[in-house]
Structures are given as structure tokens and as C-alpha cells.
């Protein structure tokens, strides 16, 4: 087997309900997420800070958010998208890339999102929205958790120890439940909602590496005003930039790698057996 038998599985409705209820009560859920694992929690400032510190990050590091597909557009302030970038095309690109699998977008944040879930870049207040794609069974858990807490977004981060703690140049996301437990089992309220078959989860996304999602920003398009708008890959992760470009080109959009995305993230290698 890929991982030891955990307490909860994503394909069992009673287990999903248990995990959602635990999250609403304040627990941190390490959930199967497309072809890997992610930490999902309530999005309040105290919980985000606690998750950051548990991973070894600075407590005040800005958090990302996740939600189900139908609620993604409402987290962005489309009135603040520059006029030379048609918002309708960006939404079409979102649909195309999220339909393919796990992905992330960074864009102008709606005012109701709190400071600990937003950042500022070139004078624009932004939010990072990460989603697993509509085919992922984790959407059932996300929907149930959102209903439990009465909000339209949750906090999300990779289910691993931070490079700030390990000293490594990068700490790839985990795609084995046992790896999550090895890194984060010290969290007393950690709930693991596992893939029923981890190998099948990875094979379901043949174009995606089992690592943190590729992140595309659209809040500050670059390029000559007479040329197609250029969107920036802030993080080159699970989906290759060439696939992003293929999705963007029919919409008259160009894509470039940003200064922090020159090297694509690598999938985690498990050199030793996890038991």
C-alpha cells in the first residue's frame, strides 16, 4: 500500500462529514487534494497564524484561500482588473485551467477579505485562490466545511514542514499520507482525510506533477498596450507553463514566467520507506 491506514477517507461520506465538522470546530485538516495533500483550516487570523507556526513559517505569513469552483469568482474584485485585460477572458482561462486540475490564480481581492489573507503587489491588494479542479472528490469536503463555518472561503497551504524550519531551498508538497503524518503528526488536532488510493489519484492527473500548484497572476498585466496582455506565472508548479500558454493563446492572452518562477518545482522524492 502507498500509505498506512489513516482514520478518515475522502470517498466515505461519513468521514467527510466528520472532517468538515472538526474543521468548523477549529481543527486543521490534511486533505487529499487532486494528486497530493493540502492543509485546510478556518480562515481566521489566529488559526492561520497557528498553522504557519506549526509548519515552521513566520506566523504572519500571508495565507492563501480555497473554495469550490462556483465561489471562486466572488473572491476577486473584477472592477480592479486593468481595462486592457478583459475580465471575461480571464474567467474563461480560469475555467479552462481549473477544469484540467489543480491550479492557482492571484488577482485583485474583494474588500471583505482580511489582511492576513491578502498581499499587496504594485499597489494592488491581491488574494491567492488555490483549487483542486471540479473533478476532485475533495470538493465535497470543501463544500461541507464551507457550509459548516458559514463562509465562502477556507485557508489552505501545503501539508508539509516549511523550508524555514528544515533549511532546504524548497520543501515539496507531500503526496503520501504517511509523509504528512511524519511532518505534522505533532499537531494535536490534525485530522487526516486521505485518498482511498494514492496511486490512482496521481494517475488521474497525467499532466500535473504531485506538487504545489502553478500560480498565475492577472492583477498587473505587462507588455505593450498594443500587444496581447501578458500574465505572469508567479510559481511554476504542478502544471507546466507550456500547458498554461496553450490554454491562454486562444483567448488572446500571453503568459511569461515571473522572476520567482524560473525553476519549476520538483515533486517530492521519498528516499526511505514510510510506515
* Residue with grid cell 472561503, as numbered in its chain: 153
Q: Render pLDDT for 54-92 as a digit per residue (tens, 0 to 9).
A: 999 999 999 999 999 999 999 999 999 988 899 999 999
Q: Which pLDDT belongs to residue 228? A: 84
Q: 38 falls in which pLDDT band (50, 70, 90)?
A: very high
The residue that leads in pLDDT, 226 or 15, is 15
The answer to whether position 136 is within a domain reads yes
Q: Render pLDDT for 158-169 as a digit per residue (tens, 0 to 9).
A: 999 987 777 677
Domain enclosing residue 174, as ranges: 8-257
Contact call for residues 31 and 40 (beta carbons, < 8 A): yes
The answer to whether position 1 is within a domain reads no
pTM of the model: 0.94
HEC per residue, 143-181 = HHHHHHHCCCCEEEEECCCCHHHHCCCCCCCCCCHHHHH
The answer to whether position 268 is within a domain reads no
- Please state the separation of Cα 63 from the chain's center in Å: 10
Contact call for residues 154 and 40 (beta carbons, < 8 A): yes
The answer to whether position 186 is within a domain reads yes
The answer to whether position 204 is within a domain reads yes
Structural domains counted in the chain: 1
Contact call for residues 235 and 214 (beta carbons, < 8 A): yes
Residue 6 has pLDDT above 60, yes or no: no
Give the CA-trace dihedral at 85, 213, 248, 204, to 10 degrees: -150
The answer to whether position 3 is within a domain reads no
Contact call for residues 193 and 10 (beta carbons, < 8 A): yes
Instruction: Kindly report the backbone phi and psi dihedral angles of residue 201, in degrees, each rounded to the nearest multiple of 5, phi listed first.
Output: -65, -40
Q: Which pLDDT belongs to residue 189? A: 93
The answer to whether position 264 is within a domain reads no
The answer to whether position 269 is within a domain reads no
Give the CATH number for residue 60. 3.90.870.10
Q: 170 falls in which pLDDT band (50, 70, 90)?
A: confident
Amino acid at each position: 500500500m502507498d500509505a498506512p491506514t489513516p482514520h478518515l477517507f475522502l470517498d466515505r461520506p461519513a468521514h467527510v462529514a466528520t472532517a468538515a465538522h472538526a474543521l468548523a470546530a477549529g481543527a486543521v485538516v490534511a486533505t487529499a487534494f487532486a494528486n497530493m495533500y493540502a492543509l485546510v483550516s478556518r480562515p481566521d487570523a489566529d488559526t492561520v497564524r497557528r498553522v504557519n507556526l506549526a509548519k515552521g513559517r513566520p506566523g504572519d505569513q500571508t495565507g492563501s484561500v480555497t473554495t469550490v469552483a462556483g465561489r471562486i469568482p466572488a473572491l476577486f474584485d473584477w472592477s480592479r482588473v486593468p481595462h486592457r485585460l478583459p475580465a471575461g477572458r480571464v474567467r474563461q482561462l480560469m475555467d479552462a485551467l481549473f477544469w484540467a486540475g489543480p491550479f492557482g490564480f492571484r488577482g485583485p481581492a474583494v474588500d471583505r477579505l482580511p489582511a492576513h489573507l491578502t498581499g499587496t503587489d504594485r499597489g494592488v491588494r491581491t488574494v491567492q485562490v488555490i483549487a483542486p479542479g471540479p473533478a476532485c472528490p475533495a470538493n465535497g469536503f470543501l463544500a461541507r466545511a464551507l457550509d459548516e463555518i458559514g463562509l465562502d472561503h477556507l485557508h489552505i497551504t501545503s501539508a508539509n514542514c516549511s523550508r524555514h524550519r528544515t533549511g532546504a531551498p524548497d520543501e515539496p508538497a507531500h503526496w503520501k499520507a504517511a509523509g504528512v503524518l511524519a511532518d505534522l503528526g505533532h499537531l494535536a488536532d490534525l485530522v487526516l482525510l486521505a485518498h482511498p488510493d494514492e496511486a490512482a489519484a496521481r494517475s488521474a492527473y497525467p499532466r500535473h506533477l504531485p506538487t504545489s500548484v502553478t500560480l498565475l497572476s492577472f492583477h498587473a498585466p505587462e507588455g505593450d498596450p498594443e500587444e496581447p496582455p501578458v500574465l505572469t506565472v508567479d510559481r511554476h508548479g504542478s502544471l507546466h507553463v507550456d500547458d498554461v500558454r496553450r490554454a491562454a493563446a486562444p483567448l488572446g492572452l500571453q503568459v511569461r514566467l515571473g522572476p520567482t518562477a524560473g525553476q519549476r518545482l520538483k515533486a517530492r522524492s521519498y528516499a526511505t520507506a514510510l510506515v
